[in-house]
Amino acid sequence: MEKEKKNNKALIGGLVVFGIGIWILLAPGQVLRLMGIAALLQGGAMMYRYYKLEEKNGLRAKGLLFVGIVLAIMGILFAFRIGFVVALFAYLIAILFLIDAVQNIKLAFSVKAKNPQAFIAALVLNALVIAAALILIINPLVLGMTIAVIIGVTLLFIGIEYMYMGFKRIK
Protein backbone atom coordinates (compact mmCIF):
# COMPACT_ATOMS: atom_id res chain seq x y z
CA MET A 1 0.00 0.00 0.00
CA GLU A 2 1.42 3.34 -1.06
CA LYS A 3 2.03 5.93 1.63
CA GLU A 4 -0.25 8.96 1.31
CA LYS A 5 1.54 12.17 0.39
CA LYS A 6 0.51 15.66 1.34
CA ASN A 7 -0.98 17.84 -1.37
CA ASN A 8 0.88 21.08 -0.67
CA LYS A 9 -1.16 23.16 -3.14
CA ALA A 10 -4.42 22.22 -1.43
CA LEU A 11 -2.85 22.73 2.00
CA ILE A 12 -1.49 26.19 1.14
CA GLY A 13 -4.71 27.15 -0.64
CA GLY A 14 -6.68 26.05 2.41
CA LEU A 15 -4.50 28.12 4.71
CA VAL A 16 -4.91 31.18 2.47
CA VAL A 17 -8.70 30.79 2.21
CA PHE A 18 -8.94 30.16 5.97
CA GLY A 19 -6.84 33.29 6.62
CA ILE A 20 -9.05 35.39 4.34
CA GLY A 21 -12.11 34.06 6.19
CA ILE A 22 -10.64 35.13 9.53
CA TRP A 23 -9.69 38.55 8.10
CA ILE A 24 -13.25 39.04 6.81
CA LEU A 25 -14.69 38.14 10.22
CA LEU A 26 -12.32 40.56 11.95
CA ALA A 27 -12.88 43.40 9.47
CA PRO A 28 -16.27 42.76 7.83
CA GLY A 29 -16.60 46.30 6.53
CA GLN A 30 -13.59 45.81 4.27
CA VAL A 31 -15.07 42.95 2.22
CA LEU A 32 -17.20 45.10 -0.03
CA ARG A 33 -14.43 47.66 -0.38
CA LEU A 34 -12.05 44.90 -1.51
CA MET A 35 -14.67 43.64 -3.96
CA GLY A 36 -15.02 47.20 -5.24
CA ILE A 37 -11.31 47.55 -5.85
CA ALA A 38 -11.29 44.20 -7.68
CA ALA A 39 -14.27 45.27 -9.83
CA LEU A 40 -12.62 48.62 -10.60
CA LEU A 41 -9.40 46.91 -11.69
CA GLN A 42 -11.28 44.34 -13.80
CA GLY A 43 -13.39 47.06 -15.42
CA GLY A 44 -10.30 49.09 -16.18
CA ALA A 45 -8.62 46.05 -17.71
CA MET A 46 -11.66 45.36 -19.89
CA MET A 47 -11.79 48.96 -21.13
CA TYR A 48 -8.04 48.82 -21.85
CA ARG A 49 -8.54 45.61 -23.88
CA TYR A 50 -11.32 47.33 -25.82
CA TYR A 51 -9.03 50.20 -26.79
CA LYS A 52 -6.34 47.73 -27.86
CA LEU A 53 -8.72 45.94 -30.22
CA GLU A 54 -8.30 46.56 -33.92
CA GLU A 55 -11.97 45.92 -34.75
CA LYS A 56 -14.18 47.92 -32.37
CA ASN A 57 -17.48 47.59 -34.23
CA GLY A 58 -18.47 44.04 -33.26
CA LEU A 59 -20.97 43.10 -30.59
CA ARG A 60 -18.24 41.41 -28.56
CA ALA A 61 -16.13 44.57 -28.53
CA LYS A 62 -19.08 46.78 -27.55
CA GLY A 63 -20.02 44.28 -24.83
CA LEU A 64 -16.45 44.34 -23.51
CA LEU A 65 -16.54 48.13 -23.29
CA PHE A 66 -20.02 48.20 -21.70
CA VAL A 67 -19.19 45.59 -19.05
CA GLY A 68 -15.87 47.35 -18.36
CA ILE A 69 -17.62 50.67 -17.77
CA VAL A 70 -20.28 49.08 -15.54
CA LEU A 71 -17.64 47.24 -13.50
CA ALA A 72 -15.56 50.38 -13.13
CA ILE A 73 -18.56 52.41 -11.91
CA MET A 74 -19.59 49.64 -9.51
CA GLY A 75 -16.00 49.37 -8.33
CA ILE A 76 -15.79 53.09 -7.62
CA LEU A 77 -19.07 53.01 -5.70
CA PHE A 78 -18.07 49.92 -3.69
CA ALA A 79 -14.56 51.17 -2.99
CA PHE A 80 -15.31 54.79 -2.18
CA ARG A 81 -19.06 55.01 -1.39
CA ILE A 82 -19.64 51.73 0.41
CA GLY A 83 -22.17 53.19 2.83
CA PHE A 84 -24.30 54.41 -0.06
CA VAL A 85 -24.18 51.04 -1.82
CA VAL A 86 -25.03 49.05 1.31
CA ALA A 87 -27.88 51.43 2.20
CA LEU A 88 -29.29 51.36 -1.33
CA PHE A 89 -29.13 47.57 -1.46
CA ALA A 90 -30.68 47.26 2.02
CA TYR A 91 -33.52 49.63 1.11
CA LEU A 92 -34.26 47.70 -2.08
CA ILE A 93 -34.34 44.41 -0.18
CA ALA A 94 -36.52 45.96 2.53
CA ILE A 95 -39.01 47.16 -0.08
CA LEU A 96 -39.12 43.68 -1.64
CA PHE A 97 -39.65 42.13 1.82
CA LEU A 98 -42.50 44.54 2.56
CA ILE A 99 -44.22 43.93 -0.78
CA ASP A 100 -43.89 40.16 -0.37
CA ALA A 101 -45.18 40.21 3.22
CA VAL A 102 -48.22 42.33 2.33
CA GLN A 103 -49.06 40.00 -0.58
CA ASN A 104 -48.66 36.95 1.67
CA ILE A 105 -50.90 38.46 4.34
CA LYS A 106 -53.58 39.14 1.70
CA LEU A 107 -53.25 35.53 0.54
CA ALA A 108 -53.49 34.28 4.14
CA PHE A 109 -56.96 35.82 4.48
CA SER A 110 -58.16 33.59 1.63
CA VAL A 111 -57.37 30.46 3.69
CA LYS A 112 -58.53 31.82 7.07
CA ALA A 113 -61.87 30.01 7.09
CA LYS A 114 -60.53 26.66 5.84
CA ASN A 115 -57.30 26.57 7.87
CA PRO A 116 -57.09 28.95 10.85
CA GLN A 117 -53.71 27.55 11.96
CA ALA A 118 -52.16 28.30 8.56
CA PHE A 119 -53.67 31.78 8.72
CA ILE A 120 -52.12 32.49 12.13
CA ALA A 121 -48.77 31.01 11.07
CA ALA A 122 -48.78 33.20 7.94
CA LEU A 123 -49.56 36.31 9.99
CA VAL A 124 -46.78 35.59 12.49
CA LEU A 125 -44.18 34.73 9.86
CA ASN A 126 -45.01 37.74 7.71
CA ALA A 127 -44.93 39.99 10.77
CA LEU A 128 -41.36 38.75 11.26
CA VAL A 129 -40.57 39.54 7.61
CA ILE A 130 -41.97 43.05 8.10
CA ALA A 131 -39.86 43.42 11.25
CA ALA A 132 -36.75 42.38 9.29
CA ALA A 133 -37.61 44.92 6.58
CA LEU A 134 -37.98 47.66 9.19
CA ILE A 135 -34.63 46.71 10.72
CA LEU A 136 -33.03 47.07 7.27
CA ILE A 137 -34.66 50.47 6.81
CA ILE A 138 -33.59 51.69 10.25
CA ASN A 139 -30.06 50.22 10.13
CA PRO A 140 -29.05 49.25 6.57
CA LEU A 141 -25.50 48.34 7.65
CA VAL A 142 -26.91 45.19 9.27
CA LEU A 143 -27.18 43.72 5.76
CA GLY A 144 -23.54 44.41 4.89
CA MET A 145 -22.28 42.93 8.14
CA THR A 146 -24.50 39.87 7.77
CA ILE A 147 -23.22 39.20 4.27
CA ALA A 148 -19.63 39.64 5.43
CA VAL A 149 -20.10 37.19 8.30
CA ILE A 150 -21.69 34.61 5.99
CA ILE A 151 -18.82 34.98 3.51
CA GLY A 152 -16.22 34.80 6.30
CA VAL A 153 -17.68 31.66 7.87
CA THR A 154 -18.07 30.03 4.46
CA LEU A 155 -14.41 30.73 3.65
CA LEU A 156 -13.38 29.25 7.00
CA PHE A 157 -15.19 26.01 6.15
CA ILE A 158 -13.76 25.93 2.62
CA GLY A 159 -10.28 26.55 4.01
CA ILE A 160 -10.65 23.71 6.52
CA GLU A 161 -11.85 21.41 3.75
CA TYR A 162 -8.86 22.28 1.53
CA MET A 163 -6.43 21.81 4.40
CA TYR A 164 -7.98 18.42 5.16
CA MET A 165 -7.68 17.44 1.50
CA GLY A 166 -4.08 18.64 1.53
CA PHE A 167 -3.24 16.43 4.49
CA LYS A 168 -5.14 13.41 3.17
CA ARG A 169 -4.06 13.73 -0.48
CA ILE A 170 -7.65 13.83 -1.72
CA LYS A 171 -8.04 15.10 -5.26
**Is this prediction's pTM over 0.75?**
no
Query: Does residue 132 lie in a domain region?
Result: yes
Query: Does residue 33 lie in a domain region?
Result: yes
- Do 75 and 38 contact (CB within 8 A), yes or no? yes
Number of domains observed in the structure of the chain: 1
Query: Does residue 65 lie in a domain region?
Result: yes
d(CA 135, CA 157): 29
Query: Does residue 3 lie in a domain region?
Result: no
Query: Does residue 2 lie in a domain region?
Result: no
pLDDT tens-digit series, residues 12-60 = 988 998 998 898 888 877 777 788 888 899 999 999 888 888 777 777 7
| Structural domain of 89 | 8-168
pLDDT tens-digit series, residues 124-166 = 999 999 999 999 899 888 887 787 888 889 989 988 988 888 8
* Dihedral, 134, 140, 141, 142 alpha carbons, nearest 10: 30
* Residues with Cβ within 8 Å of residue 45, at least 6 apart in sequence: 68
Give whole-number Cα distances, 95 to 90, 98, 101, 144, 145, in Å: 9, 5, 10, 16, 19
